[in-house]
Amino acid sequence: MTAQLNPCGDVAVLVPAAGAGVRLGAGGPKALRQLGGEPMLVHTIRRVAAAPSVRTIVVAAPPLDVEAVHALLAPVAPVLVVPGGAERQESVAAALAAVPVGPEIILVHDAARALAPPSLVESVAAAVRAGSDAVIPVLPVVDTVKEVDGDGFVLGTVDRATLRAVQTPQGFRRSVLAAAHASAAASLTDDAGLVEKLGVRVTCVPGHEHALKITRPFDLAIAELLLERPA
Ligand SMILES: Nc1ccn([C@@H]2O[C@H](COP(=O)(O)OP(=O)(O)OP(=O)(O)O)[C@@H](O)[C@H]2O)c(=O)n1
Ligand SMILES: C[C@](O)(CO)[C@H](O)COP(=O)(O)O
C-alpha cells in the first residue's frame, strides 16, 4: 500500500520517534507525550506534511506502539510506520529501508523537534536540490563554552565563533544517506555525522528557534508557550 502526500514531491521524510524520553521523565515514549493537548508526534507530522515538497513520510515508532501510531496519524497525514530500534541510528535505518522508490531527497527529522516549521523542511530540501549532498540546519552558540576535566575544573575556553548547534531536519541525497548508513560502524547522535565519516561535505543552512528539541521538562514548557502564541 502506498502512503503518499504530494505525488509531485521529491522528498521523503524519516521521523525517528522510538525514543523513551528518559530525560523528560516518567510518562511513556516521548513522541506520544502530550503537547498542547495532542501527542507530540501529531504536531511533528502535521508540520512536515504541510511542506509542499514532501511526498512520503516514514515514522519509526516504539515497537510496541506501531499499530497505535498508525491509527493516531491516519487523520493527520498518510504515513508509513515501522518499528524503531534501540538507538536513534537504528530507528533511522529502519525507516530508510521502508522508503519506496521515487524520492531522491531524504530528510531525517526528530519527532522531538515537534514545532519545526514547514519552511525549515523546504529550505533544507531546497539546499539538497540545489546540489548539496548533505545539509544541516544550525544556530549559533550563544553561551561562552568551556572545556572541563572529569573533576569539574576548567581546561580552557573554546572559540564559539566556529561552533554551531545542530537541529533537524537534516537533508541528504538518497544515495549518500544510504551509503552512510550501510557503512556505519559506531552509533552517532546524528545522520550528518555518518555522512562526515564518508568524507562528504556537509552544508549548513540557518536553523529555526522553533525547531528546539524537546528533551527536558523545561523544553516541553517552552514548546507549550510557543503553541499558545499567535502565528
Ligand atoms: N531508539 C531511539 C532513540 C531515539 N529516537 C528518536 O530520536 C529523536 C532524538 O532523540 P532524543 O530526543 O534524544 O530522544 P530520546 O532518546 O527519547 O531521549 P532520552 O535520551 O531522554 O531517552 C527523538 O525523536 C527520538 O524519538 C528513536 O527513534 N529511536
Ligand atoms: C539529531 C539531533 O537532534 C541533532 O541535534 C541530536 O543529535 C539527537 O539528539 P541526542 O539527544 O543528542 O541523542
Q: 160-177, pLDDT tens digit by residue?
A: 999 999 999 999 999 999
pLDDT tens digits for range 4-53: 898 999 999 999 999 999 999 999 999 999 999 999 999 999 999 999 99
- Ligand at minimal distance from the CA of 194 is 2
149 CA → ligand 2 middle, Å: 23
How much is the pTM?
0.97
CA of 213, closest atom in ligand 2: 3
pLDDT tens digits for range 78-132: 999 999 999 999 999 999 999 999 999 999 999 999 999 999 999 999 999 999 9
Q: With 80 as the cut, is the pLDDT of residue 1 above it?
A: no
- Ligand at minimal distance from the CA of 107 is 2
Choice from 190, 208, 209, 219 to test ligand 2 binding pocket (greatest atom count within 8 A of CB) = 190
CB of residue 86 inside a 6 A radius of ligand 1: yes
Reported for 69-73, long-range contacts at CB under 8 A and 24+ positions apart, including other chains, are 69/17, 69/32, 69/41, 72/32, 72/39, 72/41, 72/42, 73/41, 73/42, 73/45
Decide: residue 227, CB within 10 A, 0-12 exposed, 13-18 middle, 19+ buried. middle
ipTM (interface predicted TM): 0.97
pLDDT tens digits for range 156-215: 999 999 999 999 999 999 999 999 999 988 889 999 999 999 999 999 999 999 999 999
For the chain, strand residue ranges (E) read 11-16, 34-35, 38-39, 54-61, 80-83, 105-108, 134-140, 145-148, 154-158, 164-166, 170-173, 203-206
Atom 7 of ligand 2, nearest CA residue: 189
213 CA → ligand 1 middle, Å: 10
From the centroid of its chain, how far is CA 149?
31
Greatest C-alpha distance within the chain: 57
Residue where the block lists cell 549559533 = 140
- Ligand at minimal distance from the CA of 65 is 1
CB 35 within 8 Å of CB 68: no
CB of residue 110 inside a 6 A radius of ligand 2: yes
CB of residue 166 inside a 6 A radius of ligand 2: yes
**Alpha-carbon distance values, 184 to 40, 90, 140, 195 (Å):** 29, 10, 28, 9
- Ligand at minimal distance from the CA of 39 is 1
Cα dihedral sign, 129-179-184-161? negative
Q: Which domains does the chain have, with CATH numbers?
A: 11-228 (3.90.550.10)
User: Can you tell me the distance from the alpha carbon of 208 to that of 219, in angstroms, rounded to the nearest whole number?
Assistant: 15
CB of residue 191 inside a 6 A radius of ligand 2: no
Q: With 90 as the cut, is the pLDDT of residue 231 above it?
A: no
- Say which residues have a Cβ less than 8 Å from residue 211's Cβ, sequence separation at least 6: 113, 115, 116, 117, 120, 137, 167, 168
CA of 110, closest atom in ligand 1: 24
